[in-house]
Amino acid sequence: MESDDKKRWNEGAESWVEFVRSGKNYYSEYLNGPALKRMIGDVEGKKVLDMGCGEGYFSRFFTKAGAEVTGIDLSEALIKAAVEEEERDPLGVKYFAADAANLNMLESESFDLTFCYMALMDIRNYEGAISEASRVLKTGGKFVVLMEHPCFTMFRVLDGKVVSGWETRLREDGSKEYIYYWIADYLRRHSYTFEWKHDRLPSSFVTTGFHRTLFDYVNALTKHGLVVTGLDEPQPLEEGVRVHASMKKHYRVPQSMVIEATKITR
Ligand SMILES: C[S@@+](CC[C@H](N)C(=O)[O-])C[C@H]1O[C@@H](n2cnc3c(N)ncnc32)[C@H](O)[C@@H]1O
């Protein structure tokens, strides 16, 4: 039976593809994309796995930067969109529809770099995915994860209540003031339904998010022979804040976190 996670991403695929390709994903453009590229650095001649590649945006980017890229994603609809783009403009990216926790089509110790961009908090079996990221890496290879910051997850619902978010108020001129970030519950692990609904999306859809702690992620990496060798809590580019003033709040509280872990053993 098709899992709910897959069904939800398949149903949201059309809207997601349009969102990514329209250039309206300004968090990716001015905050998270630059942070991912900074952490990954030069990929020339490297074999790279894009885990949770979606419609292939970063698979294409790193292929153009000189890497040999394989992209995997749970959603067949998103992989179909990625393959169609590859057919329209061939770059040599290979795509597979697969659960990140079971990548048996990929050989062990065959990649220099695995990255997972804004997907690990959406992956149900995150430990399985981390184990697979480690398995396919060569010793000394890097696993770079950019994810929503687990300490400051937005729109997280537990027992029917939102348990974290920005306290805001409207100024006299009608603009929104972000006063402080509050959190009511951090240590309880849970899944929740996330509604993708804003004016930059052609239509709304829902997906499943998983709240885990920073400890859970770092512990799982270590358990699978991946040692943290880099960390970032990125801030938006100045240019982004000029165009989207609401991003200024991330000079105070990060939206995301980037971890670089190096495979030492297995
Ligand atoms: C927020 S999207 C990010 C997609 C892509 N990295 C991007 O930036 O466009 C999260 C992605 O995680 C994928 N995903 C969720 N669960 C997964 C799993 N178990 N295995 C692989 N991919 C999964 C979804 O299908 C979706 O494409």
- Please list every protein residue whose CB sits less than 6 Å from any atom of ligand 1: 5, 9, 20, 52-54, 57, 73-75, 78, 99-100, 117-119, 122-124
What is the pLDDT at residue 265? 75
Q: Which amino acid is at 148?
A: E
Q: How far is the CA of 53 from the centre of ligand 1 (A)?
A: 6
What is the pLDDT at residue 1? 59
Q: Is residue 86 part of a domain?
A: yes
- Nearest-CA residue for atom 4 of ligand 1: 54
Q: How far is the CA of 116 from the centre of ligand 1 (A)?
A: 9
Q: Is residue 138 part of a domain?
A: yes
Compute the mean pLDDT over every residue in the chain, rounded to the nearest whole number.
96
Q: Is residue 184 part of a domain?
A: no
CA-to-CA dists, residue 245 to 30, 74, 155, 190, 261, angstroms: 12, 34, 20, 32, 33
Q: How far is the CA of 145 from the centre of ligand 1 (A)?
A: 12
Q: Is residue 177 part of a domain?
A: no
The per-residue pLDDT for range 49-81, each reduced to its tens digit, is: 999 999 999 999 999 999 999 999 999 999 999
From 137, 133, 143, select the one nearest 227 (Cα to Cα).
143
The per-residue pLDDT for range 193-209, each reduced to its tens digit, is: 999 999 899 999 999 99
From 218, 157, 148, 166, select the one nearest 188 (Cα to Cα).
157
Give CA–CA dist 201/17, Å, rounded.
10
Q: Which amino acid is at 243?
A: V
Give CA–CA dist 117/34, Å, rounded.
12
What is the pLDDT at residue 230? 98
Q: How far is the CA of 130 from the centre of ligand 1 (A)?
A: 14
Q: Is residue 183 part of a domain?
A: no
Q: How far is the CA of 95 from the centre of ligand 1 (A)?
A: 13
Q: Is residue 162 part of a domain?
A: no
The per-residue pLDDT for range 84-101, each reduced to its tens digit, is: 999 999 999 999 999 999
Report CA torsion sign: 54, 55, 59, 61.
negative
The per-residue pLDDT for range 153-197, each reduced to its tens digit, is: 988 999 999 999 999 999 999 989 999 999 999 999 999 999 999
Tell which phi-psi region holds residue 3, choosing left (phi > 0), alpha (psi between -120 and 50) or beta: beta
With pLDDT > 90 as the criterion, what percentage of the chain qualifies?
95
Total structural domains within the chain: 1
What is the pLDDT at residue 140? 98
Testing ligand 1's pocket by substitution, the residue of 17, 51, 122 carrying the most ligand atoms inside 8 A of its CB is: 122
The strands making up 137-148's β-sheet, listed across from edge to edge, are 94-97, 68-73, 47-51, 111-117, 137-148, 256-263, 226-232
Task: Residue 42: give its domain's CATH number.
Answer: 3.40.50.150
The per-residue pLDDT for range 97-146, each reduced to its tens digit, is: 999 999 999 999 999 999 999 999 999 999 999 999 999 999 999 999 99
Using the 8-state DSSP alphabet, how is residue 178 labeled?
A: E
pLDDT greater than 70 at residue 264:
yes
Q: Is residue 175 part of a domain?
A: no
- Domain holding 29, by residue range, is 4-151+211-263
Testing ligand 1's pocket by substitution, the residue of 28, 117, 123 carrying the most ligand atoms inside 8 A of its CB is: 123
Q: What is the DSSP string of 22-52?
A: TT--HHIIIIIHHHHHHHH---TT-EEEEET
Q: Is residue 38 part of a domain?
A: yes
Tell which phi-psi region holds residue 156, choosing left (phi > 0), alpha (psi between -120 and 50) or beta: beta
